[in-house]
Chain A
Amino acid sequence: MLPLSSSWFVQIPASAAILLVSILLLSKIYHYFQCQLLAQKSLVNRINKILPQTQCGQCGHPGCLPYARAISTGEAINKCPPGGLTTLLELANLLYEPVRSLDPAHGQFKPFSVALIREDECIGCTKCIQACPVDAILGGPKLMHTVIESECTGCDLCVEPCPVDCIDMTAGTDNLAPESCQLHEARITTPGARP
């Protein structure tokens, strides 16, 4: 490319320019692949944000993040019963997919509930503690166990391993349900001239 006969004051800037251009090119290529990776990761994150994080495994994946990864690579979005209709609609909205009804193979919609251990029947086997995905059960071997209600996700995973069937799913104090509007219906209007 460069004439060998050129003197040093041509050669040095020219090689510097080539070096600069190649660095820029490489960084662009690197940036492109980085962006692809980020887009994938941010999609997983956005899906994960919509999922209810109960970590119940009803979708067939060990937790919500693995299911979010699976959705990002094309898995069906209608496998999350605890998320309810809101999750289904938001996912469909995010991924431009048609809204389908919940896959019955993975369970039914049901209201939010929390686990409750009937404490006098508990034998202290620690099996539910091992099953709990969010460490919401307290207790030790041969000691009574109990559920921390505020941390329980209502995932049902502790019910099945219990050898004495002393765990019930009860309607938790659900502070998320919109306040009953009966009280507001009591609002009254005074008759009178309108302005």
Chain B
Amino acid sequence: MQGDAVYARTTMGGIKPPPHKHNSLRSRIMATPIPEHLAIPIGPAPSGLSATGVKVGERVLKYQMLSRYKQAGLTGDESGQLAVPIHAPTSGIVTAIAMAAVAEASVQERLCIHLSSDGLDEALPLQSEKDYHALTPPELFQKIAAAGIIGMGGAGFAVARKLHLAAQQEVDLVIINAAECEPYITADEALIRERAVAVLLGSDIIKLACAAKRCVLAIEDSKLDAIAALEDAINSPLLENANVELRIVPSKYPAGSEKQLIQCLTGLEVPAGQYPTDIGIIMQNAGTAHAVFAAVVEGKPCISRITTLTGNALQTPKNFDVLIGTSTNFLFDLCGINRSTKVKSIVGGSLMGHELFNDDAVVNKTTNCLIAGTVEEFPGIQPEQACIRCGYCANACPVNLLPQQLYAFSDYEDSNQLIQHGLFDCIECGACDYVCPSHIPLVSHFRQSKNSINAHRLSMERSQQWQQRFQYHQYRIKKDKDQALGSKDSISAQESVEFAESFATETIAEQESFSKEKASREIAAAVARVKARRSKIINGDPDKDEPPSGDSN
């Protein structure tokens, strides 16, 4: 085991909002009573009905798999089979398979398996594995994939697949992200405070699975209890064979963002448009590490997660070990909600979270925090005023962008300048919104610009596809007509010349910029022309002349 914690350097930008964390940290993590009704979301993969492996009216046991699941589990989902399976959180009867609201940032509704629990909590037997060191990486991937674990931090990427890709790219460093920099969220802190050994063993399993050299757990310096628990755990005999280092990062928002944390710990910057695995680093959330430990060592599939219930409208805010599919209202009632003072329900933290419009929304595997806010906490959106070019946003930006400049360009809808000024590097952390004295919702503007630029790109691709199909259609019609007329020999060859030329005119568009693509296209056109001429000379059969591979612009 490595020795004491090491303090990491600070990075540029960032803000220090009031943390609002102490309320939910007063009590231990509690298990909820089993709710009468659960709705387990299918997804995030959009496979729909074809992926369900149970029928309405069927009785299921705790830990039973509810979806059709592909054994390989590492290559995404095709033919209605989930790469990430879902499991029954308790025993009961499937009452319906229908849409239900989910507490997630990206979508409001998902197809869910509705389960009416019978209260018996009858479970399938679990296969525990004491010595995970004996397992090979493929066996580990298989166990993690079968347990249905996705990234618990919020992105929700299938963990087995991410580890598999990382192992292929030969990563050196695994970072376990326990920074949890956003206000209100304490799920990871509470988890580490009470189950530090499990989190560290899970981290070690992740390191073994992707064959990395080092594993580092990063935590903010304000989480004193959790740091103490980690230091105790590292020196305990349970972790003799494990090898996880502890790093303490300065607490500021957004220290826990993937690229910022990498920069903070290693000094390396992830290049624009690339992933951390491209520079040999993989990052996983602390909650994910705990779920991996449960899956590999205890054999337990992912049927619950730690979720923070907080906000001033709750009498006893706390962290719950929530079964997936529990409704938000059920959890709010357990914490003694005062509905008259609640003005907003929020899923996620207060800076990157989204408002929850339906309090019956169910908890999914990525729901880390639910806030029931009062009007004092969330006074609403202040009226937007003109940009005074104070430059606070540029100082706050953790990616070193110029938000005020981007804001001006997004106002003019100047997409070239937006791309040049790095709009697509914006991580949408909201630090610029927070510091703006004119209350400009900068991130909303940036999201809108990103969407419209993406839409324009897509429409260009679509029109290109239509153009190619139209050209092929014309070519086919002419060929059919010629064949019907019986003048097979020379005209068909001439046609193919014309067709090749019609593509050649496309290539002329980029005369000023000589590119490899263009050269290869010209060569293809020339080859087609030569072929046509040759077939004309030897009067070859007309069926042979194929249109040149269509890549026009």
Contacts and interface: CB of A to CB of B under 8 A. Distances in A.
Contacts of B378: 188, 190
Interface in B309-368: 344, 346, 350-351, 353-355
A175 interface: yes
A190 to B, nearest CB: 5
B132 interface: no
Given A175-B458, A195-B435, 14 more contacts: A45-B508, A53-B464, A54-B466, A55-B470, A132-B473, A188-B350, A188-B381, A189-B381, A190-B377, A191-B377, A192-B18, A194-B437, A195-B392, A195-B395
A41 B507 CA distance: 10
Given A53-B467, A134-B466, A134-B469, A190 B17 contact: yes
Given A188-B350, A195-B15, A178 B455 contact: yes
Most chain B C-beta atoms within 10 Å of own C-beta, residue among A63, A135, A185, A186 = A186
B469 A151 contact: yes
B130 to A, nearest CB: 46
Contacts of A188: 344, 346, 350, 353, 355, 373, 378, 381
Contacts of A52: 459, 463
A16 interface: no
Contact of A42 (B439, B463, B509): B509
A31 interface: no
Interface in B424-475: 430, 433-435, 437, 439, 441, 443-444, 447-448, 451-452, 455, 458-460, 462-467, 469-470, 472-474
Contacts of A54: 466
A184 interface: yes
Interface of B: 15-18, 20, 108, 183, 344, 346, 350-351, 353-355, 373, 377-379, 381-382, 392, 395-396, 430, 433-435, 437, 439, 441, 443-444, 447-448, 451-452, 455, 458-460, 462-467, 469-470, 472-474, 476, 505-506, 508-509, 511, 553
A105 to B, nearest CB: 24
Contact of A184 (B447, B452, B464): B447
A177 B465 CA distance: 18
Contacts of A136: 469
B508 A133 contact: no
A184 to B, nearest CB: 5
Contacts of A179: 447, 451
Given A45-B508, A183-B354, A176 B462 contact: yes
B98 to A, nearest CB: 21
Interface string A130-167: 00111110000000000000010100000000000000
Nearest 8 CB-CB pairings of A with B:
A186-B355, A45-B509, A53-B463, A134-B469, A178-B451, A53-B466, A53-B467, A176-B455
A18 interface: no
A41 B473 contact: no
A20 to B, nearest CB: 27
A38 B452 contact: no
A110 interface: no
Contact of B470 (A41, A45, A63, A176): A63
Interface in A36-54: 38, 41-42, 44-46, 48-49, 51-54
Contacts of A49: 460, 509, 553
B376 to A, nearest CB: 8
A64 interface: yes
A192 B378 CA distance: 11
A119 to B, nearest CB: 21
Given A38-B508, A178-B452, A64 B467 contact: yes
Contacts, number: 120
Contacts of A38: 508, 511
A183 B444 CA distance: 10
A179 B108 CA distance: 13
B18 A190 contact: yes
Contacts of A12: none
A135 B476 contact: yes
Nearest to A183: B354
A177 B443 CA distance: 19
A134 B448 CA distance: 32
B444 A184 contact: yes
Given A38-B508, A42-B511, A49-B509, A192 B462 contact: no
B470 A134 contact: yes
A30 to B, nearest CB: 16
Given A187-B443, A190-B183, A42 B508 contact: yes
A127 to B, nearest CB: 15
22 contacts: A38-B511, A41-B508, A41-B509, A45-B505, A45-B508, A45-B553, A55-B470, A64-B467, A153-B466, A179-B447, A181-B448, A184-B441, A185-B441, A185-B444, A187-B441, A188-B344, A188-B355, A188-B381, A189-B382, A189-B439, A190-B18, A194-B437
Contacts of B433: 187, 189
B448 A177 contact: no
A176 B456 CA distance: 8
A46 B351 CA distance: 44
Contact of B435 (A41, A46, A187, A194): A194
Contacts of A189: 381-382, 433-434, 439
B447 A133 contact: no
Contacts of B351: 190
A181 B350 contact: no
Most chain A C-beta atoms within 10 Å of own C-beta, residue among B355, B458, B469 = B469
Nearest to A155: B466
Contacts of A135: 469, 472-473, 476
A188 B184 CA distance: 13
Nearest to A51: B463
Contacts of A133: 470, 473
A181 B444 contact: yes
Nearest to B379: A191
A195 B344 CA distance: 26
Nearest to A192: B18
Nearest to B354: A186
Contacts of B377: 190-191
Contacts of B18: 190, 192
A3 to B, nearest CB: 47
Nearest to B472: A135
A193 to B, nearest CB: 8
Nearest to A188: B378
Contacts of A42: 508-509, 511
Contacts of A176: 455, 458-459, 462
A191 B382 CA distance: 11
Contacts of B382: 189
Contacts of A190: 17-18, 20, 183, 350-351, 377-378, 434
